[in-house]
Structure 1
């Protein structure tokens, strides 16, 4: 898996790109959380859930279906609680879906694991992309330390951080600020 840092950075970047107004910063954080959430399946290891099972790591929680369900539930909850300055439902749904599904995309670009069950529960096949430059992160806080952490973070700085920075800079350059739009 990619680290929680890489997942959260990509989720927050998607938030900034799709909902660029600074007033939408809480949704950037929600997108970051959605991008990290699929790894909640690692709790299954404590209960003896096999890695390769439907409920195992990179299984159902990493699927496109899980992203659809999570985005739909969260948009529904946002609408119920009606926070101030909420974005359009469709745009928010797209953001939360993309942030959640981005988790599996990054994991499919890592150098380890069993692959990602994108089509779970209908298909248990696990997939990797042919381009796998991201160093796999050890599972667990204790294992993510020292040389292993630096190896993963260096890899993610190049393959996640730099692209996120370039996207953010492109948005700043290409999208005029409010002050520039007013005559």
Structure 2
């Protein structure tokens, strides 16, 4: 898996790109949380859920169906309690992409059993042909020493740098658009 830092960086970046106004900063944080949420399945290790099972790590919670369900549930809840906020369709797209991005990053890592992106309809697990992201160990205790530096260096190159480029392009485009007006 990618680390919490990589997942949340991508989620927050998606938030800023899709809801660029500063008043939506709490939705950037929500997108970051949704980007990390699929790793809730690591709790299964405590209950002896097999890694390769539907409910195991990188299984159903990492699927596109789970991303649809998370986005729909959060937007539905938001609609009940809030009158103001971003357009619901745009919020749904943001939360779907943020949650789905988790499986995409994990499928680009150098380890694990792959990602059940089409679960529960297809149980096969996938990696992309291009896997430049160093796999992060599962658990805080293993995330130390040289391992953490390899993971974070990899994510700096393959996650943070592209996110920074996209945010810079957004800022330049916004500044140019404002100057034209």
TM-score of the two chains, using structure 1 as the length reference: 0.96
Aligned to 1:166: 165
Q: Does 1:116 align with 2:115?
A: yes
Unaligned ranges ≥5, structure 2: none
Cα RMSD of the aligned pairs, angstroms, is 1.3
Matching residue of 2:56 = 56
Q: CA deviation at 1:171?
A: 0.1
TM alignment of 1:77-92, pairs within 5 A: 77-82=77-82, 84=84, 86-92=85-91
List 4+ stretches of structure 1 deviating above 6 A: none
Residue correspondences, number: 181
The answer on 1:34 being equivalent to 2:46 is no
**Structure 2 residue aligned with 1:101:** 100
Change (3 A) 1:19 1:177: farther
Partner of residue 134, structure 1: 133
Distance 1:81 1:178, change over 3 A: farther
Query: Hey, what's the Cα distance between the residues in 1 that align with 2:56 and 2:4?
Result: 18
CA distance in 1, matches of 2:124, 2:35: 22
CA offset digits 1:39-68 (Å, max 9, x no partner): 010000010000000000000000000000
Structure 1 residue 179: Cα displacement: 6.2
CA deviation after TM superposition for structure 1 residue 176, in Å? 3.0
Length-normalised TM-score, structure 2: 0.97
- The residue number in structure 2 matching 1:23 is 23
Structure 2 CA distance, aligned partners of 1:125 and 1:64?
13
For 2:83 and 2:27, locate their aligned partners in 1 and report how far apart those are by CA, in whole Å. 11
**Cα offsets for 1:137-167 (capped at 9, x unmatched):** 0000000011111110000000001000000
CA offsets per residue over residues 73-115 of structure 1, 9 Å max, x none? 000111111154x000100000000000000000000000000
**Shift of residue 123 of structure 1?**
1.0
Deviations 1:11-49 (A, max 9, x none): 000000000000000000000000000001000001000
